[in-house]
Amino acid sequence: MIEVNGLRKEYGDFVAVENLSFFIGRGEIFGIVGPNGAGKTTTLKMLGGLIRPSKGSITMKGLEMSRDPVRIKSFLGFLPEESPLYEGMSVDDYLMFFAELYDIDKSVARKRISDLLFDLSLNADGKKIGDLSKGMKRKVAIARSLINDPDVLIYDEPASGLDPMTSRYITDYVRSLKKAGKTIVFTAHNLYQVESLCDNILIMKDGREVIQGTADLIREEYGKIQYRLEFRVDSTEEYDLADIKQLNGGYVIVTDDINVVNNTTKWVASRGGDIVEMRTIVPSLEDIFLSIMGIELFVD
Ligand SMILES: Nc1ncnc2c1ncn2[C@@H]1O[C@H](COP(=O)(O)OP(=O)(O)OP(=O)(O)O)[C@@H](O)[C@H]1O
């Protein structure tokens, strides 16, 4: 459904996205995660045809974005990170306004709007958009992204910054959109959300791919079982088996090598020290993500 090859985006001298390639099958959910500034929004904007890549190609349903942007946009639904809404309009008028932009027949639009409001549990009671809660505004933006009944949805952090209930609701709603056959690309900061929703995940850092694949593949590649050994000895001056950290008057090592654990245990015993605790840790996707980002885990 979507094929991206060698995508690059420069802003002046700054390269925001570099050599990104991926493939998304019909009806799949593809999640892009990465720290602030990783290039996620820039990537989505290129996918949405809002900005032009400096290099590389985007193909959707066999159409090339650089050649057929208008045709592609007719089957796209784009949800920006922050959606400017017309605050003075009612929800119905606002959605009808966008339906008209898409040239949708009035009676079809009316039915679609009423279905969307029902599906999203969005009862605005005739209020102006400006008077709605943050979660309701997000739902209005989602409804707008669906007004043309698109096949492909590009959602920038659809559920972030919302209360847990609305966030959960939107996550479940995205899942139901997949069931309805939509292909979805979205960015998120919440790794649990990504893992629960996505068929494939792309982790980005500094504009580049770190890894992509299923959550299981990422776990296999980066999520080796870790051993955490905490011990006490008088001095670690002669210890050179692993990186060592001081903690609570003792020492800790974290390693994926069981031999290091065994040899450290022997070394501690030979120095007359004590093992305080030995445990194994199966990293979650969140742990893997943080460790890819260079954050040291499991030491404390
Ligand atoms: N119009 C622009 N001009 C110059 N630099 C830009 C522009 N838009 C984005 N950037 C830079 O490109 C980099 C990637 O930005 P982008 O918004 O794509 O990151 P992101 O991964 O979406 O971050 P966040 O999680 O904070 O939304 C950042 O360093 C950003 O400052």
Q: Which residues of the chain form CATH 3.40.50.300?
A: 2-221
Query: Candidates 14, 46, 54: which one to mutate for ligand 1, based on the most atoms within 8 Å of Cβ?
Result: 14
Residue 43 Cα: closest atom of ligand 1: 18
pLDDT digits (tens, 9 = 90+) for 145-173: 999 999 999 999 998 888 888 888 888 88
2-221, what's its fold?
Answer: Rossmann fold (3.40.50)
Instruction: Please give the angle made by the CA atoms of 113, 115 and 120, to the nearest 5 degrees.
Output: 95
Cβ atoms of 79 and 141 within 8 Å: the answer is yes
| ipTM for the predicted complex | 0.96
Contact residues for 132 (Cβ-Cβ < 8 A; gap 6+):
91, 124, 140
pLDDT for 296:
64
Cβ-in-10-Å burial (0-12, 13-18, 19+) of 238 comes to exposed
Residue 133: which of 113, 162, 104 has the closest Cα? 162
CATH number of 224-282: 3.30.70
Per-chain mean pLDDT for the chain: 90
285 sits in the region (left: phi over 0; alpha: psi -120 to 50; else beta) called alpha
Query: Candidates 13, 17, 42: which one to mutate for ligand 1, based on the most atoms within 8 Å of Cβ?
Result: 42
Query: Candidates 7, 10, 36: which one to mutate for ligand 1, based on the most atoms within 8 Å of Cβ?
Result: 36
Cβ(42) – ligand 1 distance below 6 Å:
yes
Cβ(34) – ligand 1 distance below 6 Å:
yes
Half-sphere exposure at residue 289, Cβ-oriented, CA atoms within 13 angstroms: 21
Q: Which residues of the chain form CATH 3.30.70?
A: 224-282
pLDDT for 10:
96
Residue 78 CB neighbours (<10 A): 21
Cβ-in-10-Å burial (0-12, 13-18, 19+) of 77 comes to buried
pLDDT digits (tens, 9 = 90+) for 71-116: 999 999 999 988 778 888 999 999 999 999 999 999 999 999 999 9
Cβ(16) – ligand 1 distance below 6 Å:
yes
Query: Mean pLDDT for each 10-residue chunk of the chain (300 residues)?
Result: 96 96 96 91 96 96 95 94 86 94 93 92 86 90 93 92 84 90 90 86 93 88 86 92 90 92 95 93 80 68
pLDDT for 300:
63
Q: What is d(CA 205, CA 200) in angstroms, rounded to the nearest whole number? A: 17
What distance in angstroms lies between residue 36's CA and the mean position of ligand 1's atoms? 8
Cβ(14) – ligand 1 distance below 6 Å:
yes
Q: What is d(CA 162, CA 140) in angstroms, rounded to the nearest whole number? A: 14
One-letter-per-residue 3-state SS of 38-84? CCHHHHHHHHCCCCCCCEEEEEECCEECCCCHHHHHHCEEEECCCCC
